[in-house]
Chain A
Amino acid sequence: MGYIKINQDKINDKIVEQLKKICPFDAFVYQDAYLSINAACKLCKLCVNKGPSGICEYIEEEKTFIDKEKYQGITVYIEQRENKAHPVAWELIGKAKSLAKVTKEPVYAIVIGEAVDSIANKALEYGVDKVFVYQDDLYKDFNVELYTNILIDYKTRMNPNIILFGGTPEGRSFAPRVAARLKTGLTADCTSLDIKPNGDLIQVRPAFGGNIMAKIHTPNHRPQLATARYKIFNASNKEKPHGKIIKMDSSGISKDTSIKLLSSENKPKVKDISDAEIIIAVGRAFKKKKDLELIEPLIKKLNAEVACTRPLIENGWFDPRRQIGLSGRTVKPKLIINLGISGAVQFIEGMKDSEIIITVNNDISNKLFSISHYSIAGDIYEVIPELNKLLAKII
C-alpha cells in the first residue's frame, strides 16, 4: 500500500546508473533530466533499501485495517474425484494443524461431492476439528461454477482465516476463482507456510522467474488463500477422531452453470514418479532424444523411474507427468541421480527432500551441486558410458 518517491533534486548521471544497476526489473526511466519508474516496477524496494541513500523513498499510504479476530479457523479443501480424496489434502491438514498450534485456531476441512461420507470420516482420522460436507447429486463432478458458489457460502457462514487448496490441476483452476470472487490474496505453490501470532500467513515460494524465494503475506485481507503441491508437506499423523461432521444445507446456493461436462475419460495409469523410490532425472545436457539410450543400463540396474526437467517436456520427449518441479511433480525418492541438469529453483524445489542426491554435471557452477550429497564434476557423455562398462560387469 504505497509507492516509491524519487527525490529528483539529488539525481545525477552516476546515481541514475547506480539505480538502474540495482533494479532487477529495468523500471527506471531517465529522460529530460527526470527519473521516473515505469510499470515494470514490482515494488521490491531494492532501490529504497539497497540504493544510494536519500534518493528513493517508500511512501506508505493509508491502510484499511480489518479486524483479524473475526476470522478464525484454518480450512483445508479436500479435492475428490470419483469419491476418492486426493492425498494432498492429508498433507495440508498436517500443515494446518501445526499452524493452528501457534494461533490456537480450529482446523476445518470442507468436502464437496455426491457420496463423500467416507472422505469426511477419513478427515476426522487425520485430526480435524470439523468437516463441512456439501453433498448433492449435482456435485458429483467438479464444476468450477457450482463449487465456487459453495466456497462463498462457506466463507459467509464460517469466516475462516485461511483456506488451503492442493496445487493440483483442479486446485489451480478452482482457488483463483474463489480468490477473485472474495477479492482476496492467493499464493500459488507455496513451498513453506508459517504463521504469525496475529494469524497472518507467511507464504514462501519461488518468485520473479529466477533463483529467488519470496516471503509473501496478505496483511489486510481475509480469508488468506494458498495452494501447495502434492508431497511438499508431510501427511498428518492419524489420531483418535475427536471432530464432528457437519452436513451443510446447499438448498439456498445457486446451481446454475454454463458448463456442461459431456464426457470424462480416465487416462491409462502411468507409474507416478511422485511415488518412485529411485529416480534418474535428465536435463538439457542430453542433446538428442536418442542419447537417452545411454541411461538404459542404469535404469535397468537400479530399477529406476526416469524423470526430466521442463525443457525436455517442451521438446516433447516425455509425458508431462514425468516432469519434476513446481510446474510438474514433487518427488522424495530414496535416491535421485541428476544427469545434465542446471538446477533451476523450480526443479530444486521439486526434489530437494530426496534422501540421497547425486548430480553429474560438467558445469561446476550448476545450482544442484550445492544441494547434492555427491557432486560429480564430469560430462554425462563421458561418465555414463564409462559407468555402463562397469555395470556390464555385474550380473
Chain B
Amino acid sequence: MKIVTCIKQVPASSNVEVDPVTGVLIRDSNNAKLNPYDLYALEASFSIKEKNPNATITAITMGPPNAKSVLKEALYMGTDEAVLVTDRRFAGADVLATSYTLSQLIKLIGEVDIIICGKQTTDGDTAQVGPEIAEFLGVPHIPYVIEILEILDDKIVVKSTYDTHDEINEIKLPCLLTIEKSNLTPRLPSYKRKIKMKNYQIDTVTLDQLNDKNPKHYGLNGSPTQVEEIFPPSNEMKSKFIEGNKETLAHELYKILDENKFL
C-alpha cells in the first residue's frame, strides 16, 4: 500500500500587515512552521501504516527550496520518503494551479492508494486543495475524517465529522482523505529517526520532470484567480479607550454593561 501525505509550510505567526500609507507588507519575522492540521494528516498516515506494516508513506510539499524543513520534520516523525516539488514557474499559484501541480507530482510518484491531506492550512484557510487534488486525479474524497475504521484491499471505511452530524463512509481505493483534528495526538519528531535519516536526500522535482510540461498550466499562468490588490482591514470605528487601575476598569466595565441594560 502506498500513501502520499500532502503537507505545507505556513508562516509561524500571523503578524503580517499592510502599511496603510505605503501599501507595503510588514512582517515581523520569517519564521515558518509545518501547518498544524498536517500533523493530524501525518498521524493518520502512521495509523494506517501501523495496521499495514507494508505500507510506505511519502510526504510531499510544494514550495520554495526552504520548504524542505517541513519535509524533514515529516521524515523525523516517521514518513519513509519525502519529495519537494519546486519551480520558479510555480510562483503565484492559486488553489487550482497548486492542486494541479500536486496532482501531477502524485501521478509521477504513481500507483498511490491513499492520499492524505490536513483539513486546511492556517495561512490560506481555504480547505480546497485536498478536494481539488482528488478531482484532478479522478479519485473520490472524504473530508474531515476523524477515524479510520477499517482498511481492506480495495476500500476503506472512515468516520468523518460535519457541523451537525457524523458520517461513516465506505470509499473505494484509490482515494483522498482530509483529516480533521481528532483524539489522535500527533507524535513529535524523534531524535532516533533524525539520526537514522541523516543521509537521506530529499528528492526535488521541477516542472520539467512532471508529465505535463506546459508552463501555462502552472503558477500564475495556470491560476484563474488573481490578486488584484491587497489592503489592510478597515477600522473606521471610533473607540472609547478606557485606562486606569483595575478598580477603575472594572467599575467602568460594570457601568457600560449597566447603561446598555445588559445587567
Contact = CB atoms under 8 A, between A and B. Distances in A.
Contacts of B152: none
Given A39-B87, A81-B165, A173-B178, 8 more contacts: A2-B221, A39-B86, A40-B64, A46-B25, A168-B163, A258-B139, A369-B239, A386-B250
B140 A257 contact: yes
B169 A211 contact: no
B246 A185 contact: no
Interface of A, secondary structure class, is mixed
Contacts of B166: 264-265, 267
B118 to A, nearest CB: 12
Interface in B136-183: 136, 139-144, 157, 162-172, 175, 178, 181
B253 A24 contact: no
Contacts of A386: 246-247, 249-251
Nearest to A389: B250
Interface in B235-263: 235, 237, 239-244, 246-247, 249-254, 256-257, 260, 262-263
A110 to B, nearest CB: 19
B189 interface: no
B80 interface: no
B108 interface: no
Interface string A43-66: 110100110000000000100000
B225 A185 contact: yes
Interface string B22-62: 11111100100000100000000000000000000000001
Contacts of A185: 94-96, 223-225
A224 to B, nearest CB: 8
A-B residue pairs, 10 tightest by C-beta: A210-B16, A209-B123, A43-B92, A386-B250, A185-B224, A180-B135, A24-B25, A185-B225, A41-B91, A40-B64
Contact of A188 (B125, B169, B243): B125
B171 A43 contact: no
A376 B14 CA distance: 23
B240 A374 contact: yes
Contact of A375 (B121, B227, B239): B239
B86 A211 contact: no
Contact of B232 (A26, A211, A379): A211
A323 B196 CA distance: 41
Contacts of A187: 225
A197 B36 CA distance: 41
A121 interface: no
Contact of B239 (A168, A320, A374): A374
Interface of B: 10-11, 14-18, 22-27, 30, 36, 62-66, 86-88, 90-92, 94-96, 99, 120-132, 134-136, 139-144, 157, 162-172, 175, 178, 181, 219-221, 223-233, 235, 237, 239-244, 246-247, 249-254, 256-257, 260, 262-263
B242 A376 contact: yes
A263 B121 CA distance: 29
Contacts of B239: 369-375
B64 A209 contact: no
Given A180-B132, A183-B224, A266-B165, A44 B230 contact: yes
A170 B104 CA distance: 26
Nearest to B142: A259
Interface stretch (A67-75, A111-119, A341-349): A341-349
A213 B131 contact: no
Interface in A289-331: 301-302, 313-314, 320-321, 326-327
Contacts of A314: 36, 181
A176 B132 contact: yes
A377 B249 CA distance: 8
Contact of B90 (A1, A39, A267, A313): A39
Given A208-B16, A386-B247, A27 B25 contact: no
A67 to B, nearest CB: 16
Interface in A178-197: 179-181, 183-189
A326 B125 CA distance: 8
Interface string A206-228: 11111111111111110000000
Contacts of A37: 88, 91
A365 B48 CA distance: 46
B165 to A, nearest CB: 5
B230 A173 contact: no
28 contacts: A3-B91, A24-B16, A24-B27, A37-B88, A40-B66, A50-B24, A81-B164, A177-B131, A179-B128, A185-B225, A186-B225, A188-B128, A212-B233, A215-B227, A215-B229, A218-B225, A259-B140, A260-B169, A260-B171, A261-B167, A261-B169, A262-B169, A278-B262, A326-B125, A344-B14, A360-B249, A374-B239, A383-B246
Contacts of A168: 163
A372 B26 CA distance: 24
Contacts of A42: 91-92, 227
